[in-house]
Amino acid sequence: MVEIVRPGLFTEIWGYNGMFPGPTIRARKGHPAVVRFHNDLYVETSVHNHGGHTPQESDGFPDAFILPGLYKDYIYPNIAPGDTLVEQESEFASTQWYHDHAMDITGENVYRGLAGFYLLTDDLEEDLIANGKLPDYKDYDKFGQPFDIPVTVQDKLFSRRGSMIYDTFDHDGFLGDVYVINGKAQPYLNVQRAKYRFRLLNASNARFYELRLTSGSFLQVGNDSWLLGEVVHRNTVSIAPAERADVVIDFRSASGVVYLENILEQDDGRGPDDDRRIPGTPLLKFIVNSGPAINNAPGCVPGAALRPHVAIREDEIVRTREFEFDREHGAWVINDRFFDPDRDDADPQVGDAERWILEGGGGWAHPIHIHLEAQQVQRYDGRLPPLYDSFKKDTVQLRDDQEEIEIFIKFRTFPGRYVFHCHNLEHEDMRMMGVFHVQGDPFQCL
Ligand code: C2O
Ligand code: CU
């Protein structure tokens, strides 16, 4: 039982280690981790490390259940795909999150609390921190908070007695009316006049957000799992379910109170309205301390170089696949078919680079997530994506007004069966999911 809505009102959650959100796991490149998950719930679970480059046995396939009362060890090698060192440096992730992925019941399991952060570093990111381009997670402010804070954004519905309400019959996408940030409704955070890094994660089932600050703007340093090529100035950042925005907020010239707010309106699982509303709904209140400003991370300025990107080139593409995301009989299909965990929907070879055309429409928005490898966004409806939305993504927004997304994806290391799906969790549970089976010899050269 935890206090989410207000002090003294207790809510039962399902949490990793009983925590909501789950404990933040930190890992370092080249240091493999084994995480043992015990299932003490009465429902099945399966754990996916979202954004991870993980062997299929540990990727949380939807029917690779951990049955109630049992446990499973997940092996995270903490490596990046790629044949060359530059490629492996380009593809190494920073901000992953782990969450439940059990077939048909992921929506309820995640909603009740089964989500946490999995953060990674490597020499490159440590150098960026040492050279003052990123705030240091090993440094603490005078309130005892690190200068690098993961932030989970969710929306929930509560009964008057504080229990979480979930509607298993809502197949359009479940929305709540209370915003819950790192497990607290209406939270505040004391901050110093300094730069802080926030890993903003949309862990909601179906709600899209466009985030804004009531004063100031963001310095975006990463998108989904990966650091960007350079620091980008943003007035707002948009995150669909499962997407992350890795941002730095500079509070040095701020004073008083600054709110992180959501300016998108959304009334159903169809997706958000087109108009933005300012002022928006406050999610998190920053109380800026009046003490002297600290000039930490002085090199975190627009244009500062972060992680180099090795692009997938057009001439590497060996085939094109098309996937149409649609609604049929009140449920959700890809290319007219419901998810079947035993059927392969695509069979790329290890080493292949492919063009995938993701088609949507019909007035519904779908955040499309592909496991195992990053999606290099080539075009949204024929248009080039902005810098911060191209290159590496692990989830892309197939919005109702953006009916076609063209991506490049390269299957570099692990053979095996992986899924791709809509990350509106109710759509996912109602079978908007497919399997790609990477063909290759699992044995490696000694
Ligand atoms: Cu975030 Cu297949 O999941
Ligand atoms: Cu969807």
Per-residue pLDDT, 330? 83
Q: Three-state DSSP class for 31?
A: coil
Per-residue pLDDT, 167? 94
The residue whose CA has the least distance to atom 3 of ligand 1 is 50
User: What stretch of H or E contains 48?
Assistant: strand 47-50
**Which residue stretches of the chain have pLDDT < 70?**
401-402, 442-446
The residue whose CA has the least distance to atom 1 of ligand 1 is 50
Per-residue pLDDT, 442? 62
How far apart (Å, rounded) are the C-alpha atoms in residues 417 and 397? 24
End-to-end CA distance of the chain: 50
Per-residue pLDDT, 162? 96
What distance in angstroms lies between residue 50's CA and the mean position of ligand 1's atoms? 5
What distance in angstroms lies between residue 161's CA and the mean position of ligand 1's atoms? 31
Per-residue pLDDT reduced to its tens digit, 36-56? 999 999 999 999 999 999 999
AA identity, residue 74:
Y
Per-residue pLDDT reduced to its tens digit, 73-95? 999 999 999 888 999 999 999 99
Per-residue pLDDT, 212? 98
Per-residue pLDDT reduced to its tens digit, 339-396? 999 999 999 999 999 999 999 977 899 999 999 999 999 999 999 999 888 889 999 9
User: What stretch of H or E contains 109?
Assistant: helix 106-111
Residues 70-95 as b/e (b if ≥16 CB within 10 A, e otherwise) read: eebebebbbbbbbeeeebbbbbbbbb
Per-residue pLDDT, 348? 97
What distance in angstroms lies between residue 41's CA and the mean position of ligand 1's atoms? 20
What distance in angstroms lies between residue 224's CA and the mean position of ligand 2's atoms? 18
Per-residue pLDDT, 338? 97
DSSP string, 302-347: TT-B-S---PPPGGGEEEEEEEEEEEETTEEEETTB---TT--SB-
Q: Three-state DSSP class for 210?
A: strand
What distance in angstroms lies between residue 338's CA and the mean position of ligand 1's atoms? 17
Cβ burial of 64 (10 Å; 0-12, 13-18, 19+) is buried
pTM strictly above 0.75:
yes
Q: Three-state DSSP class for 353?
A: strand
Per-residue pLDDT, 274? 86
DSSP string, 223-265: ETTEEEEEEEEESEEEE-TT-EEEEEEE-TT--EEEEEEEEE-
AA identity, residue 44:
E
Ligand 1 atom with the shortest distance to the CA of 99: 1
List pocket residues of ligand 1, CB cut-off 6 Å. 48, 50, 99, 101, 242, 369, 371, 419, 421, 423
Per-residue pLDDT, 444? 61
Ligand 1 atom with the shortest distance to the CA of 51: 1
Per-residue pLDDT, 402? 65
User: Residue 363 CA: which ligand is closest?
Assistant: 2
What distance in angstroms lies between residue 31's CA and the mean position of ligand 2's atoms? 35
User: What percent of the chain has pLDDT above 70?
Assistant: 98
Helices marked H in 333-429: 425-429
Encoded tokens for 362: 């019909």
User: Residue 224 CA: which ligand is closest?
Assistant: 1
Per-residue pLDDT, 387? 87
User: Residue 334 CA: which ligand is closest?
Assistant: 2
How far apart (Å, rounded) are the C-alpha atoms in residues 261 and 28? 33
User: Residue 225 CA: which ligand is closest?
Assistant: 1
